[in-house]
Each structure stands twice: as C-alpha cells, then as structure tokens.
Amino acid sequence: MGASLGSGCQNSPVVVGQSQMVDAAEEPPGRPPGSALLPILESSCSSSAENGCRSESVSPIVVNLDAPLAEPVARARKSAPARRKGRTTVVESPAAHKVASYVMPGAMLAPPAADEAPGATPILRIDSPHNAPPADPERDAAPASQTHPADPPFYIVTPSRRPQNPRSRAFRKRFFPEATDKEWNDWRWQSRHRIKNLEQMERMLSLTLEERTALIEGGQMLPVGITPYYMSLLDAENAEQPLRRTVVPSSKEFLRSRGEADDPLGEDGHSPVPGLVHRYPDRVLLLALDFCSTYCRYCTRSRVVGHGELMANEKRLELAFDYLRKTPQVRDVLISGGDPLSLSEDKLDWILGKLRAIPHIEFIRIGTKMPAVLPQRITPQLTRVLRKYHPLWMSIHFLHPDECTPEAARACARLADAGIPLGAQTVLLKGVNDSVPVMKELIQKLLLMRVRPYYLYQCDPISGSAHFRTSIEKGLEIIGGLRGHTTGYGVPTYVVDAPGGGGKIPLQPNYYVGRDGDDIVLRNFEGKTYRYPDPVEA
Ligand code: SF4
C-alpha cells in the first residue's frame, strides 16, 4: 500500500517514510552504511501556488511506505552521474520519474524546464527539502559557511548532518566550552561527564529548597546521574519543567504514602536466579546490569538500579543462561536493567550470542532509555552488533515531546534502519505528561521518529512516588482523548502493573454501552451512541 504525500502537501517538507537499510556494498558513493533511504514511487503534486504551496519550483515525492528494496533501481541510481550545485546534489537519471529510486530524505524532483523537450532526462535533486526557497544562483554560489539555512524539522535525518538542537548547542558552549564536537557526540565522554552532585548541579540550575535538600540528604535513595546532553534539555530556572522534574531529585521522594513499596511488583519473589525475573509463563526479564546513564526519579527498580550490586559479570549471567537452557517454555527474553545499552558492544555481543544459542529462545527484546537520554550511544558500531541477532525488538522509554530532538530522531532512525522494530514505553506522570495535548504531541512525534507508542504505564506505587502518581481516571481520560482523535497507530495500551505481581492489566474507556434486544449499543470517540445488529443466538 502506498502513501501519497503529494495530496496533502501544504508546503511541508518530505516526510521520512519507511526507510530501509542498504548494505555497504550497495551504498552510493559518499553515503555511510546504514543511512536512511526513501523509496520513491512517482512524482505528483496536487498542491500549487494557488492552494498554498509556496514551493512553486519543485514537486513533492510520493512515497511507497511498503515498497521492498528495489535493488536494481538502487544500482541504477548509484551509477547515475552526480554533480554538486551549491548545497544540492543533482542526479540525472532516466529512472527519476518512474518507480524510481532510493534517495535520501529531502530529495526533490526538479520540475521540467519550460523549454524542455518531451522525454528529456528528468533530474533528481538530493538534499533539498520541499520547503526550501526557490533556486537562487547567487545564494547557491555562496560558500556554505555564509549561508544560514533554517533547521529542518527534527525528524528529518540526513547522513551528512550531525544534528544538535539549539538548547544543547547553547548549553555546551556555556558549560563545556572546551568539549570538541567529537567529544560531545561520544557516548563515553557523555557518560564520564554526567552530573551527579549538588556542586555540579547548582552551577547549571537554580535549585529550589526541595531539590537542594534532596541532593544534600540523598542517603540510600536512587542515585543522581544526568548526562550533559539531557541536562541541556532542562530549564535552568523552572523547577516545574517536565523533564527537570523527572531527573532532578526532590525531598518529596522522602515521603512514604499508603500502598507504596520498594518492590511493588513483587519481582524479587519471582526471581529464580539473581537478576532474572520469571513472572509470565513464556517470557522472562533479564536484568543485565544496574547502571543507567540518567536516573529517573520514578524508577520502578530504584531498589536495584544505581547501587553497583548487579554487575554484568559473566558468572552471574551464566547462571541466568543456565536457567534459561533448562526452562524450555521460555521463548521470549526482555533484556533490561539498568540500561543494557550502557554495556560495551563486546559485552552485548556476548549476551545476545549466548541467548541466540539457546534453541527455544525465539524472541529477544531490549528495554532502553538511551535514545532519549544519550542518543549519542546509538552508533553504527552498536547497530552492527544488534542487527546480527534478529528478530530483535526494542522498547524505548520516552516521556515527553521535549525528548524528541533531532539527536533522538537520528538515534531512532539508525535503529529502525538496522531493522529493529521500535516501541515506546511511557510512564504517566503528574505534572509531566498528564494531559491530552502533551500526550498527543508526544505520540505524534514518536510516530515521525518511526517509534510506535506501545504502553502507557500507570506509575507504579514505589516508595516516595506520590508526587508523580495520577489517578486512574486521568489515564482513561488521556486514552479517550487520543483514540479516534489521532492516528490509531499512535494510541498506546494503557496498563496498570498490578501490585504484588499480578502482571499488566489493560484499561480503556468503556465504548460498550450494553445490549438492547438484538442490538449492541456502542459509544464512539465523540460520545455518540450507535447500534450494531447482533441477534441473540436462539
Ligand atoms: S532508565 Fe529505566 S531503569 Fe534506568 S532509572 Fe530510568 S526507569 Fe529506571
């Protein structure tokens, strides 16, 4: 099934479609392995200057979201002559107007020139988004350093660009002026420079009394750790800013409320070997380590993470693998932690290899927050390791639309291009994402990053979490505000993880009103009722 972007174009940039990975051997010159590619089906545009499209000189691209990789066409494009014109690469290819080619996001088909003979070779322009200003010979001739093109939308990922959102740029200049580009974009540098104590924190944020008290009296609680990248997304002056609330501790964490517990899900009681939770019949949770690059103040496993007691050492993990070898009903392993992507490529390779060597383990998942808190971790080296172990899926922890930066989009694009299906897990948090507009913005941005919203979790009653927990009604209100009001793919399943180990229980607004004779009465997303004929069986 194809999806036409042309019909809805209102001077919008070309949207990244379902891009596909191309082996290094197939890569056109100058494109790094794993870069995003778009299948182009044909060129057509119903928009024009009359109906609002300011980009008169170009036609948008129609993207076939389901097209398989057309190797012969990709090869044809590879051999097409290319030349540079200002910031634009121009490719002349006889295939350009046909079921054409795989090109980078932002590629445009040039319009036929007024004097162009019918059947002349069409021209494919690369790196020129749909809303780019019309060609200007003087501007195009200027050196790149003198041009100031507007930043493209955050989800447009091009291999030639190492994105840095403006907030991070300003933060880095102010607090890490000595850091080179290479260092800032190096996940190990980011890990080494995490912000972990009061002294570092008060240099960067105006702390409230509650934050300062928590940092001074932290004691046994979940440690503090924030990557410089994630810190750059925080508001230095506003302690109520959603992202800041989730990572900067508050003395409210010291309060214990009714029903709270350190292990509310009863995981420790379902742990046959250290770091392995076996609660459901055919799947297990493997805690690879207890380290996270950034610690979330509402973490369900705050009793475990960050205390340096659960290491990724081979002796412990071998116990877990032994258990799995002897438990043939387990077909699905979720590797979580801590954040498993904090491990080196070699260690991940070893763990994944051990799991794949167990014949009855069919499905492997990784749970991570790296694309949100340390997107620099998603390197080509990492994806090269991960893609060896398909089918491999990934659940990414995203909370708020402010996390959807160009850096996060690039990280997700790399994972998706490596063939990893991406799902988002979001915890519903008071004052962070507990409103329909915020949640709608988040899920719509996630879809643009090719991440399917998967679960919306009711916040677990962990000790000291009252200031984060909303009512269940709030969660139902949010799902009711999404279902039918935005793309169905974006509506997550709202679940309560039952305290005591009962597992996930899905909740949704009640659309079933009841039976009336031979009819079922249903309520739609607008609250209107409808009848569905459903005769009672005699
Ligand atoms: S990333 Fe996950 S495991 Fe780590 S602190 Fe946050 S919620 Fe807990």
Distance CA 451, CA 511 (A): 27
Token pair listed for 382: 């990492």
112 lies in the same domain as 226: no
Q: Whose CA is nearest to atom 7 of ligand 1?
A: 299
**pLDDT at residue 136, as a whole number:** 43
Residues with CB under 6 Å of ligand 1 are 292, 295-296, 299, 301, 305, 337-339, 369, 397
CA of 296 to the centre of ligand 1 (A): 5
> Is 149 inside a domain boundary?
yes
> Is 275 inside a domain boundary?
no
110 lies in the same domain as 226: no
**pLDDT at residue 122, as a whole number:** 46
CA of 300 to the centre of ligand 1 (A): 8
9 lies in the same domain as 39: yes
Quick: pLDDT tens for 463-508.
999 999 999 999 999 999 999 999 999 999 999 999 888 899 999 9
CA of 11 to the centre of ligand 1 (A): 40
181 lies in the same domain as 139: no
Mean predicted lDDT score pLDDT of the chain? 79
The residue among 254, 271, 305 that closes a domain is 254
Atom of ligand 1 nearest to the CA of 373: 1
* Per-residue exposure over 45-79, b if at least 16 CB sit within 10 Å of its own CB, e if not: bebeeeeebebeebbbbbbbeebeebeebbebbbe
Q: Taking the model in full, what pTM does it have?
A: 0.74
Q: Whose CA is nearest to atom 1 of ligand 1?
A: 369
Pairing of the two strands 108-109 and 276-280: unpaired
> Is 503 inside a domain boundary?
no
One DSSP character per residue, 476-507 reads HHHHHHHBTTB-GGG-PEEEEEETTTTEEEEE
> Is 26 inside a domain boundary?
yes
DSSP classification of residue 26: G
Catalytic annotation present for 279: yes
Q: With beta carbons less than 8 A apart as the criterion, state whether 478 and 428 touch.
A: yes
CA of 338 to the centre of ligand 1 (A): 6
The residue among 234, 254, 274 that closes a domain is 254
Quick: pLDDT tens for 38-60.
333 333 333 333 333 333 333 33
Quick: pLDDT tens for 227-261.
999 999 999 999 999 999 999 999 999 999 998 98
> Is 293 inside a domain boundary?
no
Catalytic annotation present for 299: yes
pLDDT band at 453, cuts 50/70/90? very high
The residue among 254, 277, 296 that closes a domain is 254
19 lies in the same domain as 157: yes
33 lies in the same domain as 102: yes
Catalytic annotation present for 53: no
59 lies in the same domain as 176: no
pLDDT band at 79, cuts 50/70/90? low
40 lies in the same domain as 141: yes
Atom of ligand 1 nearest to the CA of 337: 3
Catalytic annotation present for 292: yes
**Mean pLDDT of the region 330-344:** 96
**pLDDT at residue 163, as a whole number:** 85
Q: Whose CA is nearest to atom 3 of ligand 1?
A: 338
83 lies in the same domain as 61: yes
**pLDDT at residue 537, as a whole number:** 83
Q: To test the ligand 1 pocket, which listed residue (301, 302, 373) has its Cβ within 8 A of the most ligand atoms?
A: 301
Share of the chain above pLDDT 90, in %: 62
108 lies in the same domain as 146: yes
Kindly name the residue from 53, 292, 404, 459 that is annotated as catalytic.
Answer: 292
Which comes out higher in pLDDT, residue 38 or 170? Answer: 170
152 lies in the same domain as 184: no
Interacting residues of 287 by C-beta distance below 8 A, sequence separation 6+: 275, 276, 277, 301, 304, 310, 336, 337, 338
Catalytic annotation present for 280: yes
Pairing of the two strands 332-336 and 283-287: parallel
137 lies in the same domain as 201: no
**Parent domain of 518:** 511-538
**pLDDT at residue 268, as a whole number:** 82
**pLDDT at residue 158, as a whole number:** 77
Q: What is the largest CA-CA distance in the chain?
A: 81
> Is 98 inside a domain boundary?
yes
> Is 241 inside a domain boundary?
yes
> In total, how many domains does the chain have?
3
> Is 263 inside a domain boundary?
no
Q: Whose CA is nearest to atom 6 of ligand 1?
A: 296
